[in-house]
Structure 1
Amino acid sequence: MKFNSILIVFLCTVGIATGQSKKWTLQECVEYAVENNLTIEQFELDLQNVQLEKSDALGDFLPNLNASSSVSGNTGLSFDPTTNQAVTTTIFTASGGFSSNVTLFDGLRNLHRYNRAKLNAISSQYRLDNLKDDIRLNVANAYLQVLSNKESLHVFNAQYAVTQQDLKRTKELVDAGVVARGDLLEVEATAATQEQQIVNAENSIIISKINLAQLLQITAYENFDIVDESFEIPPSEVLTNSPKTIYDKALIFRNDIKLSEMNVAIAEKDLKISKGALLPTLGAFFNYNTRYSSQQQFDAGSGQFFRDSFKDQLWINDGISYGAQLNIPIFNGFTVKNNIKRSKIGIDRAKNQLEQDKLALETTINQAYVDVKSFAKAFEAAEKTVEARRLAFEYSKERFDVGLMNSFDYSQAQSRVDDAEAQLIRTKYDYIFRLKVLEFYFGMPITLD
C-alpha cells in the first residue's frame, strides 16, 4: 500500500504538470517528429553531402588554373637560368608562371558522372522521404497505444466505481445477516484486483507516453501528454478497393519503390562510365612562364657588365606553351573489362532489389488488407461479446442482490465483463491502426478524423 500511495502522489503530480502544459494531437505529433527526429536530421545532412557531388561533377567540365612561383639562391658553380651559361658566383633567381588544363573528351564519362550525381541526389531525397514515412507510422502507432491505455484506465475506473457500490451493498447485507461474510471477502478481493488493474493501467499510460515522447525527441516526459479524446472507428472507403488496386497506386508514390528504381538508373550510369574508359581521352593545356636572375651580363659593344631590372627581366624572359594531348587506351590489364562486368552485375542486383521491394510491398499491402478485414470482424465480435457479458452480468447482479447467487459466481461474471471490455478496447485500436496503415499505402494522410 505504501508503494501505491507513492505512485498515486507521483501520478497526481504528473497530472497537475500535464494539465498546465500543451496536449498534443496526432497531426502535431507527426509533424513535430518529422521536423525534430535526429535520424531524419542525419539523413538531411547526408542529402546535403550528396548534393555537393553535382558541384564536383560540374567542376570537371571546367578548365583548371594554377599559379606557381619559386625563389632560390646558388653559390659556386651553377648555371644561369636566363643564359644557360656556367658561372661561379652567387646567383639569386626567381621564376613563376600559370598553367591550365582542360579535358575536351573523355569518353563522355564527365557527362555521365554529372548525370549520376543528379540521380544520386534524387535517390537520397527518396531515402529521406521513406524514413519520414516510417516515422509517421511509428508515431501513429505509439499515439494510438496511449489512447488505448487511457481508455482502458477509464473503463477500469468505471468498473471499480461499480464494485465500490457492490461492496457497500454487500456490507449492508452481511450486517443484516442476508449473506455470509465470505461473500463480502470475495467482493473485497474483486475490488483489490481492480485497484491493481488501475495501477497497471496508469503505469502503461506513463510508459506509452514516454515511448511517444522519445519518438518526438522530447525529454520532458512529465510535461508531455496528448489530447483526452476517445476515438471511434473512423469511416473509410479504402476497403472498397481491392488489394491489387491499392498496390498499383502504391507503386506510383511509395518512396521505397522510387528509391529502388533510382538505384537501377544509377547502376546503368555506372555502366556507361565504365564503358567510357574504352574510348580515347583528349585534353588541352596552356602554360605561361617567366624568370629573373641576379647574374650580371657582359655587353660586348660597351665592354661593360649590366643587369636588367626585375620588371624588364620578367618581360624579356617570359614564354608560353600550349597544345593538345591524346591518350588512346590499348591495354590496361583487365581493369576496364572487369569494371564493366562489375557494373553489369550492379545493374542486375539493383533490378533484383527492385523486384524484391515490389514483392515486399505487395505482401505488406495484402497482409494489411487481411489484417483490416480480420480486425473488423474481431471488433464486431468483441462488441457482441461485451453486450452479451453485460446482459449476463446484469442478470447475475439481480440474482446476487436477492441472495440467489454466491459472491464467487458473481465476481466471475464481473471478471468476464472486465475482460470483454478490455479486449474490445485493444481490438478497436488495433483495427484503427491497421486501417490507417492501409490508407497510408493508398496515399491518404495519417489522421484520426
Structure 2
Amino acid sequence: MKRTVLILLFSSISFLTFSQQEEKVWTLRQCIDYAIENNLQVEQSRLNVKSNEQGQLNAYGDLLPSVNGQASHSYNYGQTIDPYTNTFANDWTQSNNFRIGANWTLFNGMRNINNVKKNQLDVMASKQALETAENEISLQVTSAFMDVLFNREQLKVAQSQLEITREQTERTRKLYNAGSVAQGELLNIEAQLAQEEVNKINRENNLNLAVLSLKQLLRISSSEPFEIVSPESFNADQLQMPNQSQSIIETALNNYPSIQQRETEVQSAEMQISLAKGMLSPTISLAGGLATGYSGLRTEVVSVQPSGTREIGYVSGTNQQVVTQTFNQQLRDVPFFDQLDNNLNRNIGFSMSIPIFNNFSTLTSINQAEIQRDIANTRLKQERQTITQDIERAYADAMASFKRYQASKKSVQSLETAFDYSEKRFDVGMINAVDYNTAKNNLIQAKADLLRAKYEYLFRLKVLDFYQGNQIAFE
C-alpha cells in the first residue's frame, strides 16, 4: 500500500514538473538574456577578459621586486676544497648551502609602467569585445525571434484560408450533387483545397525551421518544449520612425561597443610603441641577498693538554738540542646552526645594463609596433564605416518596410472587400471556381506581404533603437 502511494506521489510530481516545463513560454528579452549567458562565442569573450586580467596582474607584479630562495644538500667523495674550511678534503664530505636573494628593477625606460597601462587598455578592449559579442548575439536572436513570429502568423493565415476553402468545397459538392454546378467547378475547388493543404504544411515546416534556428542560437535541445510570447496589441501604425539617421550614427559612433573597442585597441598599440622604444634605455637594478652554509669537515678545538716535548733542531756551533712543547687537542664538529650563523654572508649592489647593439631587434620591434598601430587605426576606420553603413541601410530598410506595410495594408483591405464580393457571387453561381480562386490567392499573397513588411519594419526599428544604446524588448 505504501509503495503504491509513493509511486502515485512520484508520478504526480513528475507530471507537474513536466507540465510546468511544457507550459514555459519565452519573451524576447528572456531569449536574448539566455543566449548571452550560454552562447559559446560570448563565453569565449568572457574567457578572453579573464586572460587579459591575469596579464594585467602580471604587469603589476613586474613593478615589485622578485625574491627567490635556494637550498642544497650534497655529498662529495674524493679530493675537493671545502669552501668553509678552505682545506683539501679526501674523504666523504657532507655540505649544505642556503641562499635568499632579491632583485628589483629600478628603471628600464618606463617599460614596466607602460606595460601596466597597456594591459589596462587590453582588459578594457576585451570587455568591450565581450559587449560587442553580446550585441551581435542579441541581434541574431531578435531576427530569429521575429522570424518565428512571422511564420507563426503565416501559419494562422494559411489555416484560416484552408477552413474557408473547406467550407466552400463542401458547399460546391452539395451544389454539384444537386445539379446546380458542373463537375469542373467541383474539381477546381478541390484542387484549390489540396493546394492550400500543401501551403499549410509548408507553413508548418517553415515555422518548425524558424523555431529550430532560434533554439540553436539559445543552445536548447530540439526535443525540448519551446514556445515564445507574441507582443501584446502590436500595432505597426503606432511605431514612430526616428527623425533622421545622422543622429543615430553620431550616437553609435560615440557609444557603440565595437567602436569603443577599436579605439581602445589604437591606444593599446600606441602604448606598445612606447614599450618598444623603452628598450633603447639602460636598465638599472638593485640586487641583494643572504647566504650561508654547513660543512661536515668543519671542526673546533674544545681543550688543549701538554703532552711533552719534541726535538725540532740543534743550535749551530754548540750542537745544543732545540725542543718544543707538544700538546694534545680535543676537537669536535661545529654544530649545524652555529655554522649557519658563522658562515652568514650579506650582499647588496646596483647594476646597469646599457644596450649598444642587439642585432636590430629593438629597431624592428619599434617598426612592428608602429605598423600594428596603423593596422589598429585602419580597423577603427573600417568599423566606423561599417556601423555607419549598417545604420543607413537599416534606416532605409525601415522606411521602405513602413511604406510597403502601408501599401500592403491598403491592398489587403481592398482585396478583402473584393474577395468577400467574389465569395458571395461564387455562392450563387455567378462566377466560376477559377475566378474565385484567383481572388482568394490574391488576398493570401497580400496578407503574406503585409506580415512580411510588418515584421521587417519592426525588426529594423529595433535595430535602430539598439544602435542608440537601448535594450531590445517588446513593451
TM above 0.5: yes
**1:366 lines up with 2:392 in the alignment:** yes
Structure 2 Cα separation of the partners of residues 19 and 415 of structure 1: 40
CA–CA distance in structure 2, aligned partners of residues 160 and 33 of structure 1:
36
- Structure 2 vs 1, CA of residues 235 and 329 (structure 1 numbering), >3 Å: closer, same or farther? farther
CA 1:19–1:189 in structure 2 vs 1: closer, same or farther (change >3 Å)? Answer: farther
> Residue type of the partner of 1:96?
F
8 Å CA contact 2:394, 2:460 repeated in 1: yes
Aligned match for 1:232, one of 202, 213, 235: 235
Asked if structure 2 preserves the Cα contact closer than 8 Å seen for 1:68 and 1:98, the reply is yes
1:18–1:222: 8 Å Cα contact kept in structure 2? no
Structure 2: tracts of 5 or more residues without a match: 1-17, 305-327
In the alignment, which of 414, 418, 422 is matched to residue 444 of structure 2? Answer: 418
- In structure 1, C-alpha distance between the alignment counterparts of 2:222 and 2:420, rounded to whole Å: 45
**Paired position in structure 2 for 1:340:** 366
Q: What SS class does the counterpart of residue 98 from structure 1 fall into?
A: strand
- Relative to structure 1, is the Cα distance of residues 298 and 137 closer, same or farther in structure 2, using a 3 angstrom cutoff? closer
Is contact 2:82–2:88 with CA below 8 Å preserved after alignment? yes
Cα distance between partner residues in 2 of 1:234 and 1:329: 72
Counterpart of 1:81 in 2: which secondary structure? coil
| 1:101-148 residue CA offsets vs partner (Å, 9 max, x unmatched) | 110111110001111111111100000000101111111111111111
- Letter paired with 2:242: L
Q: Distance in 2 between matches of 1:92 and 1:234?
A: 95
Q: Give the alignment's TM-score, normalised by structure 1.
A: 0.92
Compute the RMSD of aligned alpha carbons: 2.0
Query: Which of structures 1 and 2 has the bigger CA Rg?
Result: 2
Partner of 1:375: 401
Q: Equivalents in 2 of 1:135, 1:234: separation in Å?
A: 28
For the residues of structure 2 that align with 1:301 and 1:401, how far apart are their CA atoms?
A: 138
Matched residue, 2:43: 41
SS of the equivalent of 1:258 reads helix
Change (3 A) 1:191 1:18: farther
Aligned partner of 2:29 in structure 1 is 27
The answer to whether the 8 A contact 2:212-2:222 is kept is no
Distance in 2, matches of 1:399 and 1:432, equals 38
Per-residue deviation, residues 63-108 of structure 1 (Å, max 9, x unmatched): 1111111122222321111122223222211111111111011111
Deviations 1:4-62 (A, max 9, x none): xxxxxxxxxxxx97994201111111122112222222221221111011110111111
CA contact (8 A) 2:151 2:207 kept: yes
Equivalence map 1:42-441=2 (5 Å): 42-219=44-221, 221-228=223-230, 231-233=234-236, 235-240=238-243, 242-297=244-299, 302=304, 303-304=328-329, 305-441=331-467
Aligned to 2:187, the other structure's residue is in SS state: helix
Point out the more displaced range, 227-236 or 98-107.
Answer: 227-236
Deviations, residues 183-229 of structure 1 (Å, cap 9, x unaligned) = 01111111111111111112222221111112112115441111255
After alignment, is 52-61 or 381-390 more displaced?
381-390
CA distance in 2, matches of 1:426, 1:190: 24
Give the Cα–Cα distance (whole angstroms) in 2 for the partners of residues 249 and 448 of structure 1: 22
Amino acid at match of 1:176: A
Cα displacement (A) at 1:238: 4.4
Structure 1 range deviating more: 333-342 or 290-299: 290-299
1:313, CA displacement in angstroms? 1.0
71-80 or 248-257, larger mean C-alpha shift = 71-80
- Paired-residue identity, %: 35
Cα 1:434–1:298 shift into 2, 3 Å: closer
Is the CA contact (8 Å cut-off) linking 1:238 and 1:442 kept in structure 2? no
Q: Deviations over 1:363-407 (max 9, x none)?
A: 111111110111111111111221222222223223323322221
Query: Do the aligned partners of residues 229 and 339 (structure 1) sit closer, same or farther apart at CA in structure 2, a change above 3 Å counting?
Result: closer
**Per the alignment, in what secondary structure is the counterpart of residue 290 of structure 1?**
strand
Aligned CA distance change for structure 1 residues 238 and 179 (closer, same or farther; 3 Å): closer
How many correspondences in the alignment? 433
